[in-house]
Amino acid sequence: MPFFGERACAYLSVRDGDTLSLSAIREFLAARGVAQFKWPERIEIIPELPLTNVGKIRKSELRRDIIEKLAAEHA
């Protein structure tokens, strides 16, 4: 598969019972003047964000997760 660049995906952890849609996020960003090329094209809702021992988000784990999900979708 050719690589043409990256796209934005937002990983979110929401409170129990709360929901959030991609359109709601886009409306929020538009209202604040964020350029469209910075908007996420996809959201992934997860129970909690993976953290390192010092409390930083494990971005490598999120990258691996989305790569696996995209591969499964294109298979």
- Torsion sign, CA atoms 64, 69, 74, 75: positive
In a 13 Å sphere around the CA of 25, the CA atoms on its Cβ side amount to 19
Q: How far is CA 54 from the centre of its chain?
A: 22
For residue range 9-57, list pLDDT tens digits in order: 999 999 888 889 999 999 999 999 999 999 999 999 999 999 999 999 9
Pick the CATH number of 9-74 from 1.10.3720.10, 1.20.1260.10, 3.30.300.30, 3.40.50.620: 3.30.300.30
**Ranges of each domain in the chain:** 9-74
Q: What's the pLDDT score for residue 21?
A: 93
Burial of 44 (0-12, 13-18, 19+ CB in 10 A): middle
pLDDT at 3 over 70: no
Confidence of residue 2 (pLDDT cuts 50, 70, 90): low
pLDDT at 1 over 70: no
Confidence of residue 7 (pLDDT cuts 50, 70, 90): confident
